[in-house]
Each structure stands twice: as C-alpha cells, then as structure tokens.
Amino acid sequence: MKRIADAFENAKSQGRGAFVAYLTIGYPSLAKCEAAIDTLVSEGADIIELGVPFSDPFADGAVIRSAAYEALKQGVTLADVLALAKRVRAKHPKTGLVLFSYYNLLFANGLDRFADAAADAGIDAVLAVDLPLEEREELLAVLRPRGISYVPLIAPNTPMERVKESAKGLDNTFLYVITVKGITGARKELPSDLASRLDAIRAAVELPIAAGFGISTKEQAEEVCRHADGYIIGSALVKRFGNAS
C-alpha cells in the first residue's frame, strides 16, 4: 500500500495541505496516546508520527524532552510503540504511520528484527533523526524489502544538491523540511525566508514536502501550505494531550 503518497494526493485533491501529527508515545500514558491518535484521525490527521521516547532527544525542545522523560519513567520501549502502532493500524487502515526515532534505538534492537516488527505493525515509513544521508543505506536495505519507506530530514541550511540526493530512490514518503534553526517547539513567528526556501525545495524534488518545527496555529499551517504539500505539528499536540490528562 502507498498510504503516505495517497494521503498527500487526497489532501491535494481537497485543496489543502496534508496534516502530519506527532505524538511522543507513552506520554501521558500509552492508553491516552492511543486515544489521542483516535481523536487526531477523527479531526483530520492524514499521517501520524509515532515518537519513540529516547533518553537524549537532542533535536527536541522542552515539551517533547519532558514528554520523553515521563514516558521513559513509565518504562515505555520501542516494542511498546510498535505494539500500539499495530492496534492503531487495525483501527485506521488508511492512515499513514511514521515511526519517529533516533537511530541508536533501532540499531540496538537489531535492524532486521526491528524491520520485521515495524512491518508487522503496519508502519509505512521510518524517520531516524540522527542518521546522515551517507549512512542511511544500512537502514534502507532492511526497510525496502518489507515495503517500508524512509522520511529524510531537511535542515534550513541543507544545500539544494543534498536535498535532491536525499529524495533519490524513495517513494511513499515525503521530505520533512525543518522550518527553523534549533530545536522543536512552538514559535510565534516563522522565518521570513521560509516561503522562498519551501518553493525552491518543492521545485527541486518530486516527493511531497511537509514543513515542521515551530508550527502551532491554524494560520501558520495555512501559510506554510501555500508553499508546501503538508505541515507537521508536534510540540503543540504533545502539550494539548498531556494537559488533557
């Protein structure tokens, strides 16, 4: 199945950007995360990013760091996240599922073992925050045979040639374009040059692009989607569902 590609095509046919929603799985609890995913899908989320709690989430801001810490205190593991993904997949067969992790966790689990479990859980793509372009083939070699794709991260200072290389050889996925320098977290304003940056990336690759980091309001999402195919909200959702506990 091509759930991620279909999600972007469906959103485009409706004249909107695809909504990619991130949650730190296990915060405030596994059961409440599962309920939050059900809510997000009912509210129109096209793709869910399942954040695996990690002890040193260096790319994340205070909200997601705190959520990961709380999830780890409860003993939430990669296996727990994949078990939840399998339940979500059974309930939401058309929703795109991206496993969002740090590579060390996947590698330590054994790549073949991890890929088997991810395929069994219905994961569509994997995003490994700290895996460089030059080293990702090791992971892709176990994902591709199982029908799982990969989501590249594009930083604000990534050269355009590297952007194009990042998109090569991938399908049923999107480029995750980071909107701001620094860590995750809601921002009152997005960079003034973001629109031109998104336009340039969109013109350079065939994959859809989704912008994330800092987006927290409907107005910001709408502005981003004038120049991108989708938008990603993380910290604001982690805070919303955490506060609802």
**Strand positions, DSSP E, 30-184:** 47-51, 96-101, 125-128, 149-150, 153-154, 175-178
| Catalytic status, residue 124 | no
- At 102, list the tokens: 């740090």
Helix (H, G, I), strand (E, B) or coil at 144: helix
| Catalytic status, residue 161 | no
CA 152 – CA 166 distance, rounded (Å):
6
The one catalytic residue among 60, 80, 124, 229 = 60
CA distances from 129 to 191, 199, 218 (A): 22, 23, 26
The one catalytic residue among 6, 34, 46, 49 = 49
Residues identified as active-site: 49, 60
